[in-house]
Structure 1
């Protein structure tokens, strides 16, 4: 029976001109994850990563700690939605990521403020009236992720490896879990906001259908360096 680990990338560069790059914290998170995999994975896994830089960096840093010769297969179906465009369409001045970072930094509760902006931006993106304004609409993103998940399950059901690890993003993981649990859009994106960097969401494959075993495991980060735990 195959176990699938959906891994969110390490901390990226929030507010930078290019978000799509791991921060020093993100690099360390990925290495800690890899050392944890070394303890729990008894066989070499099938490894897949989205094509974004943060996915690739996390995958290679983590696997170098446990199975350094493992091939990382790239599949852009596991890429995140364009969150910077989603923010910018909600509030045009946030087209410059550094302005969003500056505003968040001024708040007494930065995480709560960013959560409020995120909620509004996601509501606009998923609401149905503005799909034409986005490079990738919510229905297209949802269908892309659900198709990627089912294609993976179909392939793993044929080859039956013991483990598969997918390096991706919080939005992708939320949609995959939302599909399994039949969650509403609001509940799906409530999950997205809670998924920690380099956390693992674990699925068990029964036939060619995934069952949720665990969500957002990040205890291995807490055990090593609690202040390294991040969500942004």
Structure 2
């Protein structure tokens, strides 16, 4: 029976011109993840990563700590939705990432304010009236992720590795979990907001069907230093 670990990338660079690179904190999170895998995985895993830089960086830093010779397969089907476009379609000035960061940082409760913006922006994206305004609509993203998950499960059912590790993003993990839990879009993205950087969501493969075992495990980071936990 195969255990699948879905990994959210380490902390990226919120508010920078390019979000798609790990911060120094994100690099440390990835290394802690790899050290944890070194303790719990008994053999080399099957490893897949999205093609985004933050996915690739997290994967290589983590794998270097445990199974450094493991082959890493890149599959862009595991990429995140275009969050910058989702924010910008909700509020055009947020097309400049530093303006979004600036607004959030000027609030008494930055995380709560960003959560409110995120909820509104996602609500617009998932509203059927606006699908045509996005490069990738919500139904297309959902279908892409669900197909990627099923394709992975079909492959693992044939090859039967003991472990599989997928390095991806919070939105992708939320859609995968949401499908298994039969959640609507609002509840799916409520999960997304809760998933912390470099956390582990665990699935068990039964035949070629995945079952959700756990969501958003991050105790291995918290045990090292609670200040290392991040959600943005």
Question: Which runs of structure 2 are paired with 1:191-202 in the superposition (5 Å)?
Answer: 191-202=191-202
Distance 2:112 2:100 in 1: 14
Corresponding residue number in structure 2 for 1:185: 185
- In structure 2, what is the equivalent of residue 71 of structure 1? 71
* Whole-angstrom CA distance in 2 between matches of 1:32 and 1:225: 11
Which runs of structure 2 are paired with 1:74-113 in the superposition (5 Å)?
A: 74-113=74-113
Secondary structure in 1 matching 2:174: helix
- Aligned equivalents of 1:27 and 1:76: distance in 2? 21
For 1:38 and 1:116, the matched residues in 2 are separated by 38
Dislocated runs of 4+, deviation >2 Å: none
Q: Deviations over 1:132-160 (max 9, x none)?
A: 11010000000000000000000100110
- CA distance in structure 2 between the aligned counterparts of 1:54 and 1:225, rounded to whole angstroms: 22
TM-score by length of 1: 1.00
Give the aligned partner of residue 132 of structure 2: 132
Q: CA deviation at 1:225?
A: 1.3
2:54 is equivalent to residue 40 of structure 1: no
What do residues 7-45 of structure 1 show as CA deviations (whole Å, max 9, x unaligned)? 000000000000000000000000000000000000100
Paired position in structure 2 for 1:174: 174
The alignment yields a C-alpha RMSD, in angstroms, of 0.3
Q: Secondary structure, in 3 states, of the residue corresponding to 1:141?
A: helix
- Find the aligned partners of 2:71 and 2:85 in 1 and give their Cα distance: 32
Number of matched residues?
A: 232
Q: In structure 1, how many angstroms separate the alpha carbons of the residues matched to 2:17 and 2:130? A: 26
* Whole-angstrom distance in 1 between the partners of 2:40 and 2:147: 28
Gaps of 5+ in 2: none
